[in-house]
Structure 1
Amino acid sequence: MFDLDGVLVDSEPVWEEVRRAFVADHGGTWQPDTQSRLMGMSTAEWASYLRELGVRMEPDDIARGVVAEMADRYRDGVPLMPGAVEAVRRLSADLPLGLASSSPRRLIDVVLDAAGLKECFAATVSTEEVPRGKPAPDGYLEAARRMEVDPHGCVAVEDSSNGLRSAYAAGMRVIAVPHPRYPPAPDALALAWRVLPDLDALTPGSLS
């Protein structure tokens, strides 16, 4: 099971830039811990949170505005993580793959289409499609359900604190590939079954 943002796509800096500017442009105040709190939230959750920061719009309108800006950025090029395409293709040759992402469905599809990876995944889930975002396990559990596999037999690849907590709560073994700019909290990293330096180290052998 793969996460998307921060694992396959170096999108967290883009999300931060877009949401930070959106908050400033609409009367809100970005807080020092805002970015870390946002990581893993579903679209509905982070849109409501931005409203709490003082954005004078309804959450649905906040979500539409931010996602539209993200889609515009991706049209200029999807910032794939080094080794992402190779890692997915390497594993998909031998294993069924799923994806559980906090990104909205629109952006998941844009990324996988642009990278030519859509056919590599047996199931993809946006936390828009489940009751709760990360750190709740809902997205990972739904991906396992769609693939008709036992979550306890799955290995999840994550980078963020809330992502690690989510996959662990789903009963999966978790491989952490920490993002250098947004490293997970020590207590979240302690949940990892294995920590890898980058996606080049993610091989079928690293899953056993």
Structure 2
Amino acid sequence: MTALRAVFWDVDGTLADTEMEGHRPAFNQAFRDLGLPFHWNKELYAELLSIAGGIPRVAIYAKDQGINLTQDQLKRLRDVKREHYLSRVCEGHVQWRPGVLRLVNELHNGQIKQWIVTSSGGPSVQALLNQAQGVMPAFDGVVSSDDVATGKPNPDGYRLALKQSGLPSDCVVALEDSAAGLKAATAAGLSCVLTPSPWDRDLVGAIHLAAAVFDHLGDEHNPSLLQQGPPCLEGMLTLNYMKSLLLYSGS
């Protein structure tokens, strides 16, 4: 019988709403600081989110605009953008997704290990976790884009988390919001619960890979809607539901 031993969390769009009011304004400010003729409004940024990773997103967009940025320019942009993002996090612009604080604490109380596996850089993740002190327990480990050569949908981040945690894939559930994350988690052999990003157009062709799909994680006064997967009578994603997912997938 397979028992749940760990949950691996994505960050952007899963743990917190980082994209539209965190990363996007930080990129725009960095563009201004460095004199680049770019501005990403919400509609454009939603389209660009199909490109995994912030700096690859910039490089591809710039090339489409007829501008080939050098590696030095991209590195400078990354550093400037990161500073603006860290400031926005500290100023409270980035909010936790519904049900996140409840579920992180529930898993901690149930002695389930929790790791972060993200395409964001380590300092950006740490800034967000600093804001969590006092409201959620510390995570057991972090794998960021700084730790692997290739980000999602490549499964290397999840495979590294499995290796470092010493856990087999069949006792871990991943939480994701994007097609890239879903593909990465399942390619690493993990069951994946999806809370779909509203702007990820690639999810239509990948959503069947998810073990369960909720609109959000849910709280007592803000129940979630199950869109795919085994019945959930509690109206929210819980420790018991994730345990049942592994039993269901193994049956």
Equivalent residue letter for 1:202: L
Contact 2:62 2:69 in 1 (8 A): yes
Paired with 1:166 and 1:185, the residues of 2 have a C-alpha distance of: 13
How far is 1:192 from its partner?
A: 0.4
Identify the residue that residue 154 of structure 1 maps to in structure 2. 172
Paired with 1:74 and 1:34, the residues of 2 have a C-alpha distance of: 23
Matched, 1:52 2:63: yes
Choose 48-57 or 145-154, whichever is displaced more: 48-57
Give the direction of change, closer, same or farther, for the CA distance of 1:205–1:118 in structure 2 (3 Å limit). closer
How far is 1:152 from its partner?
A: 3.2
Which string of whole-angstrom CA distances, capped at 9 and with x for unpartnered residues, describes residues 128-179 of structure 1?
Answer: 2111101101111111111111123311000011111111111101100113
Which string of whole-angstrom CA distances, capped at 9 and with x for unpartnered residues, describes residues 104-135 of structure 1?
Answer: 11111111121127743211110221111011
Equivalent residue letter for 2:241: S
Contact 2:103 2:238 in 1 (8 A): yes
How far is 1:195 from its partner?
A: 0.8
TM-score normalized by structure 1?
Answer: 0.86
How far is 1:16 from its partner?
A: 2.7
Q: How does 1:1-208 map to 2 (within 5 A)?
A: 1-14=8-21, 15-20=23-28, 22-23=30-31, 25-28=35-38, 32=44, 34-38=47-51, 40-41=52-53, 45-46=56-57, 48-49=59-60, 51-53=62-64, 54=67, 56=69, 58-77=73-92, 78-94=94-110, 95-116=112-133, 119-182=137-200, 185-200=203-218, 201-207=236-242, 208=244
Equivalent residue letter for 1:136: N
Gaps in structure 2 of 5+ consecutive residues: 1-7, 219-235, 245-251
Show structure 1 runs of 4+ deviating over 4 A. Answer: 20-25, 28-34, 181-184
Equivalent residue letter for 2:125: I
Paired with 2:28 and 2:148, the residues of 1 have a C-alpha distance of: 26
Q: Which has the larger radius of gyration?
A: 2
Paired with 1:52 and 1:138, the residues of 2 have a C-alpha distance of: 27
Q: State the SS of the aligned residue for 2:196.
A: coil
Which string of whole-angstrom CA distances, capped at 9 and with x for unpartnered residues, describes residues 28-81 of structure 1?
Answer: 47695752233x32x553454355353756211111121111111111113221
Equivalent residue letter for 1:72: S
Gaps in structure 1 of 5+ consecutive residues: none
Equivalent residue letter for 1:45: P
Give the direction of change, closer, same or farther, for the CA distance of 1:205–1:184 in structure 2 (3 Å limit). farther
Contact 2:31 2:77 in 1 (8 A): no
Equivalent residue letter for 1:115: A
Give the direction of change, closer, same or farther, for the CA distance of 1:120–1:29 in structure 2 (3 Å limit). closer
Paired with 1:61 and 1:50, the residues of 2 have a C-alpha distance of: 17
Count of aligned positions: 206
Choose 89-98 or 13-22, whichever is displaced more: 13-22
Which string of whole-angstrom CA distances, capped at 9 and with x for unpartnered residues, describes residues 2-29 of structure 1?
Answer: 1011011101113233335645750347
Paired with 2:27 and 2:156, the residues of 1 have a C-alpha distance of: 24
Equivalent residue letter for 2:10: D
TM-score normalized by structure 2?
Answer: 0.72
